[in-house]
Structure 1
Amino acid sequence: MIRAASLRGFAELVSEQGGDPAALLRRFGIPDDALLADDRLISITAHDLILDAAARDLACPDLGLRLAVAQDLTILGPLALAIESAGSVAEALDCAARFMYVHSPALRIGVEPDPAGRRNVVAFAYRKDLRESPYSPQAIELGLGLFHRTAVRLLGDGLPLYSVRIPHQPLSPVSRYTEFFDVPDVRFGAPFACLIAERSVLDERLGGANAQICALAQDYLAQHFPDPRTMTAVRVRTALTAILGIRTPSMADVARLLALHPRTLQRRLSAEGTSFAVVLDEVRRDTSYRYIVTTNMRFSQVASLVGFNEQSTLSHAVRRWFGVDPRGLRAGAGDPGP
């Protein structure tokens, strides 16, 4: 999932480009009123697909970058205050990395070694967990663009970059990227999206530094937004994602992977208000959706990859989940990629 705030400015941008934002929202199953509540959670797959579809349908290849200009750090909600009040760039990045799950558990930022191996250079990485949702060029450009704009604003004098790396090939003329990131070196086909700068940037002090506010904000986040990775249901989901399509998933298999007795696993899931069957159904639903709307894979293959023995079982499940059959779901999302 991802906070609906990540689509802030989307409706206005689509309208400016001559599109119908309400029709796009319906097409990808996002409630019409979702954009009115920043804290509302929506599917990150639907979020990313709607960005790619809008860019394609409206012939607006830099839609992600344009949307980044319409947003700011406040889309992160309570996490924004903790970042803004951090003492240094390193502290702000550490806070963002620790609590990014508040915005979306599928996204991650952090400091990594320079891809070129330079000792005094680091990469400010922006990553998405592709086990949870397919790669989206527009969503990556939105996230990396907002990451850059936030860093520039927090530092005041701007961010002295060496380079920008983007995993996909350019969607717009390269000059659009060099102008947006204010750096002459933007490279494509990289292993991951990142901003590359001197390591010394990490020590830069932030103008809004306030240790007391930062500590209070982080305490609030820790108390009100527990890390989902510690939840049994999330650990079960991760295990199911790993074995789905390899063999018919069972509670015994997952319990063994998690080093738990099946009864203990069942009891913990019950305490979280769910069950193994419910989590398995959700994993199958989300995985089926990704395969159906983002690939041209045969439906019989999709059925096998989500652990169904028959294509008809997939068809019945898709109707239950989405109200249409697999063919209708694929058609409603537009032409899938390869």
Structure 2
Amino acid sequence: MQPLIRTASLRGFSPLVSELGGDPDRLLTRYGIAREVLEGDDGLVSITAHDQMLDAAAAELDCPDFGLRLADRQDLSILGPVARAVRSSSTATEALECAARFLFVHSPALTIGVDDDPWSRRGVIALTYRKQLAESPYSPQAIELGLGLFYRMAVQLLGRRPGLRSVELPHGPLSPVARYLDFFGADIKFDRPVAALCVDHRILDASFATADEEIRLAALQHLTGSYSDPTRSMTGRVRRAVGECLPGRVPPLAEVAASLAIGPRTLQRHLVVEDTTYGRVVDDLRRDRSHRFITTTDLSFTQIADLVGFSEQSTLSHAVRRWFGLSPGELRRRARLSR
């Protein structure tokens, strides 16, 4: 299954597009997102479609800082049920641990974490923001939206600027550097390996005025009881194990079971409980990756066949017809016409 993201991430999208002279309905339709699904925060849309739409809006509206402008219209509340647990945490460390643990509720394709400072500065840490690129292509605007919102959440929770030393972006400048300096108020470093906010490590000990242990425990209980991380399910673990072998041969079930330190029959039983099979997991993974490569890249179909573990292009063609009722060429043409 392709990774999804809650529609809360598009809060403010339609008004912003309209203010810039664009037609939000046309963009939504082009990327297969129903306007009515944006009426609430808890709808789910493809994160690939979500990200491609942000990039398209920025390009068509000649608004290179589109992601940052959208971040300016959002706050911690877009995390929905996760926001309650984060806001009631006692320290920044507790809040980060909670957000990292349950960010899958917002989107399983996104992760945050705490890493060493990439520049080895004394007393500095990196708050990282990542997207699983094996499941969905990179989007500069979506990264700027996410990192900009991450920064705004920190300011909202701390009530002040979070000791920001520098900002790391994996792409080159989309806007004049002055725009980034105005938004973040700190040095910006481009073409970096990972998106991150580099901050004074003492921020981790900062306490929140909104701390409430009773509310936090109730929120955690709700999250634990109501949501399960799809990446930690057996289906998710198998999908990830197979995906890491591509391009290349698809490993047999026994080999994947061994990599997960369980027996083949145990693996099969777990998948049956999750209403799937090993063959179906592999087929779904190939379908999703084939669709992404065909519709979002200019790779040849022979290259795509290799990337998804097919030995011949003809095998890919037969599979694409089975999945989508179209040839690879027709699927690519339709995708390009809709842009």
2:232 counterpart (204, 207, 230): 230
Aligned residue among 11, 14, 19 for 2:22 = 19
Separation in 2, partners of 1:326, 1:57: 27
2:247 aligned with 1:257, yes or no? no
1:113 to 116, 130, 144: 116
Q: Deviations over 1:188-242 (max 9, x none)?
A: 1112111122111111111211111111111211111123333110011101101
- The aligned counterpart of 2:176 is 173
Which ranges in structure 2 are unaligned for 5 or more consecutive residues?
Answer: none
Residue type at the aligned position of 1:151 = A
Q: Which residue of 2 aligns with 1:203?
A: 205
Q: How many angstroms does 1:323 deviate by?
A: 5.0
Matched, 1:123 2:126: yes
Q: Does 1:216 align with 2:210?
A: no
Aligned residue for 2:236, secondary structure, equals: helix
Structure 1 Cα separation of the partners of residues 163 and 234 of structure 2: 42
Give the structure 2 partner of residue 162 of structure 1: 165
- How much has 1:320 moved relative to structure 2? 4.3
- CA gap 1:171/1:332 in 2 versus in 1, 3 angstroms: farther
**Superposition deviation, residue 151 in structure 1:** 0.7
Aligned mates of 2:227, 2:71 — CA distance in 1: 25
- How much has 1:322 moved relative to structure 2? 4.1
Compared with structure 1, are the counterparts of its residues 26 and 276 closer, same or farther at alpha carbon in structure 2 (3 Å cutoff)? farther
Structure 2 equivalent of residue 51 of structure 1: 54
When normalised by structure 2's length, the TM-score is 0.91
Map residues 294-333 of structure 1 onto 2, 5 A cutoff: 294-333=296-335
Matched AA of 1:5 = A
Are the structure 2 counterparts of residues 162 and 42 from structure 1 closer, same or farther at C-alpha, using a change threshold of 3 Å? same
> Match of 2:244, SS?
helix
Greater shift, 22-31 or 3-12, is seen at 22-31
| 1:28-47 matched pairs, under 5 angstroms | 28-47=31-50
The gaps in structure 1 that reach 5 residues or longer are none
TM-superposed deviation, 1:12: 2.4
Q: Report which stretch shifted further, 310-319 or 222-231.
A: 310-319
The match for 1:4 among 2, 7, 32 is 7
How far apart are the structure 2 equivalents of 1:9 and 1:60? 15
TM-score by length of 1: 0.92
1:274 to 269, 273, 276: 276
Corresponding letter in the other structure for 2:80: G
Contact preservation (8 Å) 1:249, 1:307:
no
The structure-2 alpha-carbon separation of the partners of 1:331 and 1:63, relative to structure 1 and needing over 3 Å to count, comes to: farther
